[in-house]
Amino acid sequence: MNKENTPEGKVLGRQVGYPQHYMPEMLVRVPRSINREQYGINGSRLPFTGFDVWNCYEFSFLTRNGLPVAGILKIIYPCESEYLVESKSLKLYLNSFNMEPFGNTAQQGLTETVGIIRKDLSALLECEVKVTGFGADTYEGSAGIEPYDILENSTETDQIRFSQYTETPDLLTVDFDSGRMTVVSHLLRSNCKITHQPDWGSIYILMEGNRIPTRENLLKYIVSLRNENHFHEEICEMVFQRLNTLFFPNRLMVACTYTRRGGIDINPVRALFDGDIPTLLVSPAHKIKGFFRQ
């Protein structure tokens, strides 16, 4: 299919002018099923629970007396939603608030705009979307996901040969000893599905069961994502599905924290159980510090 005819092709990869006034019609949604089908993920019986967490760092509007207000938005919606929002369309939509007046005070304006955004996104995605606005004086706490062991910091890493740069699940050989791992790699890189521009991030994995992958080959597998062309959410679900179907773990959580682009970072998290999802990461009330690549 021609990319221009896909939902995401409406704005992504095209030169689109920034809107000067509030324009909810800029928003574009993408069916999750497009990518899930190729990995055997049934949308009506998902093998995981989780959320997509977006931090938007360049949100601004005017008060009714013309005073610019700058803030940060945290947007959270469930992985069970039929659609995801395309990131460039969200950026353009949020920029449409820049020159619009809301509220007599900064706080009133923030309350108004957050309500509008929550309503627009919930209608677009046909699910409950949580939106929280933070002012410049907001305390930034930890994400409740660290510390994890850094895979590439192993003393043996320099001796490992890496040669696969497209997703290679055969690299995930089994360590037949039962165990638990909480690891992170800051070597996550994939590419935008449409523009093929690189997306940089970190991947956090909690896994427990009778069979777990060797750390060396798990790192090789993460490196093999380097030339994959997927959205952030799709990468997270692909890794989760590979680990889940190959190892049948008792516990599994995969979180991907990506570098911000265009003032937005995207942080999908998927888990077998709600209790393994980092609480602060998905809390609407908590503005987290940036991760290593953010």
> What is the distance between the alpha carbons of residues 161 and 155, in angstroms, rounded to a whole number?
14
> What is the distance between the alpha carbons of residues 222 and 262, in angstroms, rounded to a whole number?
25
As given in the structure block, the two tokens for residue 132 are 């929280």
Q: Which residue has the tokens 């093998």?
A: 47
> What is the distance between the alpha carbons of residues 189 and 229, in angstroms, rounded to a whole number?
10
Q: Which residue has the tokens 């994939």?
A: 190
Q: For this structure, is 199 an active site residue?
A: yes
**C-beta separation of 92 from 102 below 8 A:** no
Q: For this structure, is 127 an active site residue?
A: no
Q: Which of 79, 192, 236, 256 is catalytic?
A: 192
Q: Which of 52, 120, 199, 276 is catalytic?
A: 199
- What residues are labeled active site? 192, 199
